[in-house]
Amino acid sequence: MIKREPHGPKLLFGIDLGAAEVKTVLCDVDGTLLCWARAPTRGRPLAGLLEAIAKLPNQWCAGPIRAAVTGSGQYLLEDVAQCTRVNEVLAVALAVRRSFPGARTVIDLGGLSSKWILLGREGQEAVADFCCNGLCAAGAGAFLEQQAGRLELTVDRLGQMAGAAPRGATIAGRCSVFAKSDMIHLQQKGTPLEEIALGLCQALARTFLATVTQGRPVEAPVVLVGGGAANPGLVRAFGEQLGLSDGQLMTPHPSSPDAAVLFAASGAARMALDAPVTGFPELIAAVRERAEAATSAHLTASLPPLRRHTEDLCAEAPERPPLTSGRVDAYLGLDVGSVSTNLVLLMPDFQVVDGVYLPTRGRPVEALDAGLRRIRERLGDRVRILGAGATGSGRHLAAKAAGADVTHNEITAQMVSSLLFFPEVDTIFEIGGQDSKYISVRDGRLADFEMNKICAGGTGSFLEEQAERLGIRIVDEFSDLALGGANPSDLGARCTVFMDTELVRAQERGVPLADICAGLAYSVARNYLEKVVAGRPIGRTVLFQGGTASNRAVVAAFRQLLGRPVQVHPYNRISGAIGAALLAARAKPQQSRFRGFNSCAASNLRSFECPRCENRCQVNRIQLGARRVQFGDVCERYSARDGELREVPRPFPTFRGARAAAPGGVLRRGRAVKERRAATEGRSPARLAQPGVSPPVVGIPARTGL
């Protein structure tokens, strides 16, 4: 029951129902803070609110109150008469204006949310402009918490180390997965831990300014609130990034760290002046009722079980088939990526002679050398390279280091590789370690493509990291568990930072491990479909390739979501390298530029930071004798300068023709398809090579003019 006109003073109760924590404050009618309490949500925000209320001193909880709620979870108390919902941005602004009357800008760093607020001038509205982060948590506090955990540090300790560091290491802040890779590389090079800590704080600050403020003015004085305001490293990083002098960047008094996170709740309390009068017993009863209803609804939320669909899967071919005797003439394909480096030897009849899949680990030349050494050790002097092709983000490096006759982007190489094995393919899903691609094919030609931008949420590294958190092996064990889940948990399709929170919530609810694994497989597929495909057409013949295609649970998730067959490339892990080798065969070099299997044996590495954008890429400059190659720049500003090779005209050809039968019947359908299409066009397959016309290479019809 709501009390309308009780006797005695009415206190103001403010609630900030956040994703990670609940903050509550009790103020008098003048807005003076009387007491506060905090409690973690643990996936149950309303249970956290009840826990926080229980922590309040009894002497303040007996009388009438007016209550207001804000925060990301305020919708949970929608239509609860005992509590008024208020805008979070306005609540923070009102509280900051009270505590810092001269402030112009507020930077609010929460656990999973962050905000930029431009305050109105005196006599104006409290908020002149604002902006919040979206579905990415790279500019929020949870990003820093996750990285601290990877370094086996508390966030407090990381902040202290960052505040005292002489300098900061260069770390990508655009995505948690990319940041992890950078940290691994820095640790391998012996970078001091305090420099990595400051680098993380600087990365978060850069990402916030790039993705939240997005060029909007950050007028001084600036007030830093939220959990990040108590972190010396973040305070230092924002001051340096914004170029603020002493007195221009303000934080709540360090003697009361709780004050930094109470601004939204304090503002909500001030906005509760117009709320109906109630009491704590009535409010607690209403919250408890909502909590029970929310728990019942959440327990029933699940996805359809994943099913094995063996009829949709192509027979997996061995990457290293048995050796044959005699001399081996082959084309070499090199695919150098940020996560893996792959090499392939392809016979003139397009059979795979040898394939190598290696982790790059931030050392692409060393990975190339290891791959070339493996091929040399296996085949010795029997192999002669007819031509070499390079692809991947490190293609220019590979071309100059090892010597390549052609270089092509990953889209071209992946499509050419797909069409060799599946000439009827119209949609290609390629998911690697940190990048993913969508390719639409029409009549053997490129129709459209898209790649992931700055989020690795739908990639192999994302899935591998979550499996590591769960203490299971990503190879086989994850798939076996996921395919056995009876009620896959709906974990959403957000970034890895948010997913950590969802995993914790699922575990606290007692969700079985198999259902969590199945939910993660769904998350990868949904993230890819929503962020990469993003509404683009998906045809009837879908081919899945890249390292993630080895995960049977993810294949099953795509099949379940699309409601149609999903084929898997027989050489899914090295498909890009196969495409590079095919493109080298198409180029028909008279004399290959391949420098030999010892070409990458000795190298000197030097790194520098590119300041051209907020990514702050760490570019590796590698000296190989008189040759210099560069690697690590996302936009290829530097690495592209190393490319001295011509790009073959028309990089997206019609890719049809004779395909030799491979072991296991992988290529058996190719010849029938070619003959059927030749008949449709009114010609004989034997007439593809005509007098006076060079025979087509790699199955390219002569009529294409290639």
Does residue 527 belong to any structural domain of this protein? Answer: yes
Residues 604 and 671 in one domain: yes
Of 138-152, 207-221, 436-450, 555-569, minimum mean pLDDT range: 138-152
Query: pLDDT at position 457, please?
Result: 57
Residues 587 and 517 in one domain: no
Residues 464 and 389 in one domain: no
Average pLDDT over residues 691-699: 36
Of 286-300, 341-355, 471-485, 514-528, minimum mean pLDDT range: 286-300
Residue ranges of E strands in 121-211: 127-132
Residues 347 and 379 in one domain: yes
Range of the domain at 560: 446-568
Query: pLDDT at position 137, please?
Result: 54
Query: pLDDT at position 181, please?
Result: 65
CATH of the domain at 396: 3.30.420.40
Q: Where a domain ends, among 568, 587, 608?
A: 568
Residues 112 and 167 in one domain: yes
Instruction: Quote the number of domains for the chain.
Output: 4
Does residue 479 belong to any structural domain of this protein? Answer: yes
Residue 8: pLDDT band (50, 70, 90) is very low
Q: Alpha-carbon distance 528 to 426, whole Å?
A: 17
Residues 132 and 208 in one domain: yes
Q: Which residues make Cβ contacts (< 8 Å) with residue 594, sequence separation at least 6?
A: 332, 385, 387, 388, 402, 403, 404, 405
Does residue 91 belong to any structural domain of this protein? Answer: no
Residue with the bigger pLDDT between 293 and 194: it is 194
CA separation (Å) from 216 to 117, 577, 596? 10, 44, 53
Query: pLDDT at position 667, please?
Result: 40
pLDDT tens digit string along 392-419?
Answer: 888 888 888 889 999 999 999 999 999 9
pLDDT for residue 706 is more than 70: no
Residues 291 and 316 in one domain: no
pLDDT for residue 52 is more than 50: yes
Q: Residue 144 half-sphere exposure, CB side, CA atoms within 13 Å?
A: 36
Residue-averaged pLDDT of the chain: 80
Q: What is the distance of C-alpha 281 from the center of its chain?
A: 45
Query: pLDDT at position 506, please?
Result: 75
Does residue 219 belong to any structural domain of this protein? Answer: yes
pTM: 0.62
pLDDT for residue 337 is more than 60: yes
pLDDT tens digit string along 78-107?
Answer: 888 889 999 999 999 999 999 999 899 999
Residues 201 and 253 in one domain: yes
Q: Which of 235, 219, 202, 177 is CA-nearest to residue 452?
A: 177
Q: Alpha-carbon distance 585 to 658, whole Å?
A: 14
Residues 470 and 510 in one domain: yes
Does residue 633 belong to any structural domain of this protein? Answer: yes
Average pLDDT over residues 10-30: 90
Residues 489 and 549 in one domain: yes
Q: Where a domain ends, among 512, 534, 568?
A: 568
Residue 308: pLDDT band (50, 70, 90) is confident
Residue with the bigger pLDDT between 220 and 612: it is 220
Does residue 412 belong to any structural domain of this protein? Answer: yes
pLDDT tens digit string along 116-135?
Answer: 999 988 777 889 999 887 65
pLDDT tens digit string along 66-86?
Answer: 999 998 888 888 888 889 999
Residues 453 and 531 in one domain: yes
Pairing outcome for strands 64-70 and 33-40? unpaired
Does residue 653 belong to any structural domain of this protein? Answer: yes
CATH of the domain at 21: 3.30.420
Does residue 440 belong to any structural domain of this protein? Answer: no
Query: pLDDT at position 442, please?
Result: 93
In the chain, % of residues over pLDDT 70? 77
Residues 240 and 146 in one domain: yes
